[in-house]
Amino acid sequence: MIWPLVGFKKWHKDARDGRCQRDRSVASAYQTALKKKDDLAIALALSSFARKTAELVKSGAYEAAAGSCYIIFRCLAKTCKEHEDWFSGFTGYGDTYTKLAIFTEAVVELYCHLRQKTGLSKRMADEMDINLEVFNLETDFFGDLHCSSRFTDMLCDAQAQDGDYSELEKCPMWGMWERKGVNEMLDDMDLDRYDKVKCSKIEQMLPKLMKMVEGEMKSMR
């Protein structure tokens, strides 16, 4: 396939540009939060933007929603590079999660929800896949996209996805984040001396999460 170079450059510029040209306000909020060196401040700064992105998906504004997802991922990747310990739990399920790990998992589910939309054109789906691959090559934020099924789902439509993202509110992490709200969810968390999180709501979800892990292990055999 010969890719339309002009379209790719335009899209990739949005994904690569850390200044977040699509929404200057989130860039400003993120930079302010980053200066505080507080993972909670960053989660709070980005969470409202994630909800706006979900509204874009709901309204059918898929291109704008995809661009918003990349802005969020870019901010998270930059934070992870400087404070990797803030993302403990992101690369594997368990009973301890940092605040940003929970938020990042929720945004991954949002992206998978967008990727499986039947109204997504083939051109748009191809652009999303290319830009996700390029972004991950630059940042290694998601590790091996072709190894873990939950990250591989970011490159697949509904028929090929391992998980079911058709109803965003029913996705484990996003559903918890959206139903309870970030403040109530964080109030339910107990932090240990390493700032890791033990959350009763996550513990209640562990059986479902473990089934997802089992699915990943089977796909790797």
Q: What is the DSSP string of 83-109?
A: -GGGGTTTTS-SS-B-HHHHHHHHHHH
According to the model, what pLDDT value does residue 100 have?
85
Asked if the model's pLDDT at residue 214 lies above 80, the reply is no
Read off the tokens for 158: 């509904």
Asked if the model's pLDDT at residue 121 lies above 70, the reply is yes
Q: How confident is the model at residue 137 (pLDDT cuts 50, 70, 90)?
A: very high
Angle 160-51-191 from CA coordinates, rounded to 5°: 95
Residue 189 phi/psi, 5-degree rounding, is -95, 140
| Interval 154-169 mean pLDDT | 93
Q: How confident is the model at residue 3 (pLDDT cuts 50, 70, 90)?
A: very low
Asked if the model's pLDDT at residue 39 lies above 90, the reply is no
Token pair 């993302």 is found at 87
Read off the tokens for 57: 């998906």
Short-list 148, 52, 185, 62, CA closest to 107: 52
Task: Answer with the residue of higher pLDDT: 214 or 46.
Answer: 46
Task: Answer with the residue of higher pLDDT: 102 or 165.
Answer: 165
CA-to-CA distance for 153 and 57, rounded, in angstroms?
A: 17
Domain locations in the chain as residue ranges: 7-220
pLDDT in tens, 170-212: 998 898 777 655 555 555 554 443 444 455 555 555 555 555 5
Identity of residue 58: K
According to the model, what pLDDT value does residue 196 have?
47
Task: Answer with the residue of higher pLDDT: 48 or 20.
Answer: 48
Percent with pLDDT over 70 in the chain: 66
Cβ atoms of residues 178 and 169 within 8 Å? yes
CA-to-CA distance for 66 and 10, rounded, in angstroms?
A: 13
Which residues on adjacent β-strands are paired with residue 197? 97, 191
pLDDT in tens, 58-116: 999 999 999 999 999 999 999 998 888 888 877 555 556 788 888 999 999 999 999 99
Read off the tokens for 23: 């929404």
Asked if the model's pLDDT at residue 122 lies above 70, the reply is yes
According to the model, what pLDDT value does residue 91 have?
55
Helices (H) and strands (E) in the chain — how many of each?
10, 2
